[in-house]
Structure 1
Amino acid sequence: MAILSLGDDIAENQLKLYVAFKKVKNIACIEVYQSYILIHLRLNPDTVELKPGKIEDAREKGHWGTGDLRAIIKNSEDFENIKPLLDRAYYEN
């Protein structure tokens, strides 16, 4: 998994409805569905270029886990596009 490869200090916590990845605090939470994956990142949505249906502000939306920025992954291209956000979440938290 790309998140675990960011550093040796990341721990995975498998919960009933999502998987959390954390250093001291959660940096990303992942929910897996049949046709897509939601990744919630601990990043300020005001510092990211939002793309409706791909990268969204989740502050006003209910969701499992931690993180104000929601990335919607439907294919490998979507995942490649959010890798820089995973790096930011790791280094900023």
Structure 2
Amino acid sequence: MTKNWPALKLELTAPPVTIPETVEHLLLVFSNEDKLAISAMNQEDLYNLHFTLSPAIQNGRLNQVDSQLRAACGTYHPDDVYHVIIGALWRTL
């Protein structure tokens, strides 16, 4: 799912600070196949992505979840931030 992180990392000048910016950046990374797989998931199953997608986000350009993004997500715990982002990504798809 994350084969394009290096390319994205080079393109970005600053990490996203809002949920829509974060989703937009993730949409640049994923292939159409990945997007289709995520969009086809049931909302209840999104927690399964936490162990695969969250580390990918952490290892990519989004690795430093700053206070603005945490505030936008309504939480300051990184795991909760990633849960909010994954949900927003799924709803967008």
Question: What TM-score results when the alignment is normalised by the length of structure 2?
Answer: 0.29
More helix by share: 2
More strand by share: 1
Question: What TM-score results when the alignment is normalised by the length of structure 1?
Answer: 0.29
Which structure is higher in RCO with an 8 Å CA cutoff and minimum separation 6?
2
